[in-house]
Amino acid sequence: MSNQNKPQKTPMTPTQRRRTLLRLCKYMFRYPGLVLLAFALMMSANVLALAGPKLSGLAIDEIVGPGQVNFERVFLFCALMIAFYVMSGLMSYLLSIVMVNLSQRITYTMRKEVFDHLTDLPVGFFDMHQTGEIVSRLSYDIDTLNASLSNDVLAICANSITVVGSMIMMLTISPVLILVFVITVPISLIFTKYKSTHIRPLFRKRSAKLGELNGFAEEMLSGQKTIRTYGKEKVITDRFDLRNEDACSAYYKADYHGSVIGPTVNFVSNLSIALITLLGSIFYMFSLGGTVQNPLFIIGLGDVGSFVQYARKFAGPINEFANIFSELQSALSAAERVFGVIDQAPEPADKKDAVVLDAKGRVTLDKVEFGYVQGKQILHGLSVKVEPGQTVAIVGPTGAGKTTIINLLMRFYDIDAGEITFDGIPITDATRDSLRKSFTMVLQDTWLFGGSIRDNIAYGREDATDEEVVDAAKAAKIHHFIMSLPQGYATQLSDGGVNLSKGQRQLITIARAMLSRAPMLILDEATSNVDSRTEHQIQDAMLALMKGKTCFVIAHRLSTVQHADNILVVKDGNIIESGTHEQLLEMGGFYASLYGAQFVN
């Protein structure tokens, strides 16, 4: 399906943002031991750090207070202050280690859940999303969350404790001076809230643009040979530049508007410190002259120093809240995209009374109708009966619906109307697992995984012996090539077997199919990547593979379907002709014209 058919994302509402934060917190509380340890270290480190300004003020009062200077008490307060700061620093260090450990575990859990869920999603999800976009959610977005959990969440929690603790200590020193924050703090909060409304969509757009860029890059890198063959390097580079420019522009706008908050709040915070210093000095001078009798306005020099330090501790976290706000917006956007995958509905569960299919190979399609998009039908009342052991070929022009029939047989999609049965059992009454295990597939798009050649051939039958693997490779005419490799069957393949030719990869998948004991076989352009000579050489092996199995063969190369028991000619979602190769040629219809176009000069 095209991207235009994707559901459009709408911005998160405040309720959705709260739910997203709550879901992230639930991941943290899967490890209560680490969370409790982190909380204990955080409280201890901040409480010890909050004692420093008070001790500093007491030491100052011992110097400027009435009478002689009590150096013993000055040194005591200074020593305690140093000890508290050292212990606070040590606990902060331990806290950072615990938080990194916690965030890594959460990242592992989240990435595992996303990947496990991806394996449960219907094929339609992957038809609607680029591979690069999915990988971006699995890697970049979860890494963004990891950075936020290990840094931003820690900073928010620690700073919250500092703000509350500083406020309490300032109240014990001079409740009057706190009135300065009644003016400055609301200014910071109102400005931050105002900017956040405009920033969130920018970070959401930033994540989306990066996903599009990754998807385009993955698509273009996988098609380098075609691009170079047609000399389209400049065209592709220009297209990449446009997407890269869009992504960079989205990054710039999000980061620019996010970075405005920090300096503005910092200015307001510094202004509050200046006002507190000015008023505190005035109160202190009035206190010395004895002109102030109200105890609320009487303050010592040590208390002024302590209050200013607590004011910095109070204003600093508020400023830091603003600085990390943009990162939190990025994390929320990333979380939205990650949870968007997790919230995708998996393939519907099998019926409670679904049976394990023991297929013999009798397949019936009765008036089947289907369309990938509602209102756009691809198959129109298609009916087919296939007996056990028969080979049915499906031919027709591109887009006629041939592969769609295979998708429905494998139940990658459910039909809109009609019925598909296997040995009289409706397809919806059988478990998906047993249904799909009843088929062996050889596709035009070969898929090999990272591992040895032997493991790739034995993928469908892990209990296969080495002799059986070798026999399958020999039948597929790939044994000689494998033995020419330095490590033979132990040769490791990586990145889909890029060190092999397309034909060699396809022969390995054919060898894999030859090991299968499934009663039904699907060949979707199975020999399209091998030359005519090799195709002729493995013809006997292919016939042996198909013997006794119900086979569905999709082919554009009509020489591969001439021996089929029944050939279905599909056009515009309808079966317009059916019969054997000879019968269809005698009819002189559409099949005959296709055959003539390929074999008649």
Q: Mind listing the pLDDT tens digit for each residue in 296-326?
A: 666 777 777 888 888 878 777 766 766 676 6
Reported in sequence order, the residue ranges of 438-580 that DSSP labels E, i.e. its strands, are: 439-442, 451-452, 492-493, 520-524, 550-554, 566-571, 574-579
Are the C-beta atoms of 155 and 221 separated by less than 8 Å? no
Percent of the chain with pLDDT over 90: 7
What per-residue confidence (pLDDT) applies to 513?
Answer: 86
| pLDDT for residue 322 | 62
Does pLDDT of 4 surpass 50? no
DSSP code for 297: G
The pLDDT tens digits of the residues spanning 151-163 come to: 777 777 778 888 8
For residue 172, pLDDT over 70 is answered with yes
- State the average pLDDT over residues 418-423: 92
Residue type at 308 in one-letter notation: V
Nearest to 393 by CA among 525, 509, 266: 525
Of the two residues 527 and 379, the one the predictor is more confident about is: 379
| Mean pLDDT calculated for residue range 182-204 | 76
Question: Tokens standing for 101?
Answer: 């450990």
Q: Per-residue pLDDT for 7 more than 60? A: no
Q: Please name the residue that has the structure tokens 């199919």.
A: 513
pLDDT of 1 > 60? The answer is no
Map out the domains of the chain with their CATH numbers.
3-342 (1.20.1560.10), 350-438+558-601 (3.40.50.300)
Residue 67 scores a pLDDT above 60: no
Cα angle 222, 223, 225; round to 5: 120
Rounded to whole angstroms, the Cα distance separating 123 from 53 reads 62
What is the average per-residue pLDDT within 572-579? 87
Angle at 553 between CA 459 and CA 453, to 5 degrees: 20
Q: What are the strands of the beta sheet with 439-442, ordered from one edge?
A: 439-442, 520-524, 550-554, 391-395, 566-571, 574-579
Average pLDDT over the chain, rounded to an integer: 81
Determine the distance from the C-alpha atom of residue 13 to the mean position of all C-alpha atoms in its chain, rounded to a whole number.
22
- Residue pair 580/392 in contact (Cβ under 8 Å)? The answer is no
Residues ≥6 apart with Cβ < 8 Å to 145 = 24, 106, 107, 110, 331, 334, 335, 338
Lowest mean pLDDT among 286-295, 415-424, 573-582: 286-295
Give the range among 128-132, 142-146, 385-389 with minimum mean pLDDT: 128-132
- Residue in the structure block whose two tokens are 């029939």: 405
On whether the pTM is more than 0.85, the answer is no
Gyration radius of the chain's alpha carbons = 36
Average pLDDT over residues 134-142: 84
Q: Which of 462, 476, 468, 543 is nearest to 508 (CA)?
A: 476
Q: Work out the pLDDT band at 136, boundaries 50, 70, 90.
A: confident
Least confident residue range of 62-66, 265-269, 283-287, 585-589:
62-66
- Whether residue 448 contacts residue 508, with contact meaning beta carbons closer than 8 Å, is answered with yes
Q: According to the model, what pLDDT value does residue 364 have? A: 92
Mean pLDDT, range 568-577, rounded to an integer: 87
pLDDT value, residue 5: 40
Tokens 């901040």 -> residue:
46
pLDDT bucket at 222, cuts 50 / 70 / 90: low
327 pLDDT higher than 80: no
Lowest mean pLDDT among 316-320, 445-449, 560-564: 316-320
Q: What gap in Å lies between CA 427 and CA 422, rounded to an integer?
A: 7
Q: Residue 129, Cα to own-chain centre: how many angstroms? A: 11
Is the pLDDT reported for residue 287 higher than 90?
Answer: no
Closest listed residue to residue 135, CA positions, set 220, 225, 212, 205: 212
What CA–CA distance (Å, rounded) separates 272 from 308?
A: 10
Mean pLDDT of 101-127: 87
pLDDT of 86 > 90? The answer is yes
**Euclidean distance between CA atoms 4 and 6, whole angstroms:** 5
Mean pLDDT, range 30-39, rounded to an integer: 88
Helices (H), 291-300: none
In 65-178, which ranges are continuous DSSP H helix? 71-120, 123-128, 131-136, 142-147, 153-173
Reported as a pLDDT band with limits 50, 70 and 90, residue 422 is: very high
C-alpha 381/C-alpha 548 separation (Å) is 29
pLDDT at 537: 66
Distance CA 133, CA 346 (A): 19
CA distance 2 to 129: 9
Which one is predicted more confidently, 333 or 424?
424
- Of the candidates 547, 505, 540, 544, which has an alpha carbon nearest to the alpha carbon of residue 526? 505
CB 590 within 8 A of CB 576: yes
Q: Is the pLDDT of residue 10 over 70?
A: no
Lowest mean pLDDT among 194-208, 342-356, 508-522, 576-590: 194-208
Name residue, tokens 């598909």.
420
In this prediction, residue 90 carries a pLDDT of 94
- Pairing of the two strands 574-579 and 566-571: antiparallel
Is there a contact between 460 and 512 (Cβ–Cβ < 8 Å)?
yes
Confidence of residue 13 (pLDDT cuts 50, 70, 90): low
* Amino acid of residue 322: A
pLDDT for res 65 = 57
The continuous run of DSSP H or E covering 418 comes out as strand 417-422
- Rounded CA-CA distance 159/313 in Å is 9
b/e map 113-142, b = 16+ CB within 10 Å: ebeeebeebbeebeebbbebbbebbbebbb
Q: Are 299 and 282 in contact (CB under 8 A)?
A: no
Band (pLDDT 50/70/90 cuts) for residue 295 is: low
| Residue 22 burial (10 A CB sphere; 0-12, 13-18, 19+) | exposed
The two counts, helices (H) then strands (E), for the chain are 21, 12
